[in-house]
Structure 1
Amino acid sequence: MLTNLAIFASGNGSNAENIYHYFSANPSIKINLLLTNNKNAKVIDRFRQYNAPIVIIDNSLANNGTFLINICNAFCIDMIILSGYLRTVPESLIEKYPNKILNIHPALLPKYGGKGMYGAKVHEAVIANNEKYSGITIHIVNQNYDDGEIIFQHKIIVENTDTPDSLAEKIHQLEYEFYPKIIEEYIKTLAK
């Protein structure tokens, strides 16, 4: 059975592109849509080179659940993957895709999560608080920022010599390594 994925992204898109590559040879999982709320996002150029379906929405429509559901329906989407998507997911979209929207967060939730905690802000806070560990969390999306059921975490040691930039690079490598694999494993559990 084919599972059609939508990737929602707002920025650079290196993680989204990594996911696209991971599934490009998989006959049962297809990236059928890239949706972005940022017309200047680098992720658009990344996906154009693959002739992948791209929908660019205005920020004024990013909270319109009916609008997003209609887009997902038009592309026969079965599951949504957030990859640096910096908007709140409307409750109606979450209800339409119960337990079928995943997000990755660049810290060990519940620490350093919630509104406004993304990207460099997370790594700066981890370093400022002298945390011994950081890592990634993959979770199911619910109505609250970074609050859904955790399905995977991987931690690394924060070295005394780490800076926010060096920590960010380590975390990106974890995201590239684990996010596609965990998505694939999660889809298999849903099929059971």
Structure 2
Amino acid sequence: MKKIVVFASGSGTNAENIIQYFKKNKIAKVVSVFTNNAAAKVIERAKNHQVPTEIFSKNELLDRNVLQKIQKIAPDLIVLAGFLLKFPDNIIEKYPNKIINIHPALLPNYGGKGMYGMHIHRAVVDNKEKETGISIHFVNEHYDEGAIIFQKSVALESTDTAETVAEKIHELEQKYFPEIISRLLEE
């Protein structure tokens, strides 16, 4: 069975969705959740599914500590699901084309440092965009610039708020992220 490691910084709804998806679709298993936030709800969600968690500091991510823990696991895929820190080069170099991220916009639009969550949704609404969506991409040394694996758009109404945009994006994430992970693992 293939092994997935998930990195998350916040509530963990995408992480939990991935865990549940692969409990049913047995081609892979989430074997660990890594977080940089000791107060993140993702920790509780992982524990509810008996998935071990690793809590680390930014310094531990940048030195070899986190890399060594990942290497012991030997994952087939590393999934960033709401992970807010820049992923370090030392891990990217060890796992080329084995680290993916989901971004709540249609890249290259609304990508880069500081562009996450409600910051993106507010910008989309402020700019009166007609559509937005999700992008799933490989992680490289630059924020949100890795090769795009998959995008899915959703139409926006003039009455949409940042909150309603967030709901539409969340629906896309929940539906497509596990499916794309599965497809990548089967290739």
* TM-score of the superposed pair, with normalisation by structure 2: 0.97
* Cα deviation digits, residues 75-124 of structure 1 (max 9, x gap): 23221000000111111101111000000000000000000000000000
- Give the conservation status (yes or no) of the 8 Å contact 1:102–1:141: yes
Structure 2 residue 83 is matched with structure 1 residue 78 = no
* Cα deviation digits, residues 62-83 of structure 1 (max 9, x gap): 222x222211122232210000
Distance 1:51 1:24 in 2: 11
Residue correspondence of structure 1 range 1-192 to structure 2 within 5 A: 2-64=1-63, 66-189=64-187
Amino acid at match of 2:27: S
Structure 1 stretches of 4+ with a deviation exceeding 3 A read none
- Give the conservation status (yes or no) of the 8 Å contact 1:136–1:154: yes
Q: Unaligned stretches of 5+ in structure 2?
A: none
Task: State the superposition RMSD in angstroms.
Answer: 0.9
Distance 2:95 2:17 in 1: 23
Percent of aligned pairs sharing the same letter: 47
- Give the conservation status (yes or no) of the 8 Å contact 1:63–1:88: no
Distance 1:67 1:89 in 2: 14
- Name the SS for the 1:62 alignment partner: helix
Distance 1:77 1:186 in 2: 13
Distance 2:53 2:11 in 1: 15
Distance 2:117 2:41 in 1: 16
Distance 2:166 2:23 in 1: 26
- Give the conservation status (yes or no) of the 8 Å contact 1:139–1:151: yes
Aligned length: 187
- Give the conservation status (yes or no) of the 8 Å contact 1:9–1:36: yes
* Cα deviation digits, residues 107-158 of structure 1 (max 9, x gap): 0000000000000000000000011110000000000000000010000111
Amino acid at match of 1:8: F
Distance 1:116 1:61 in 2: 21
Distance 1:67 1:117 in 2: 27
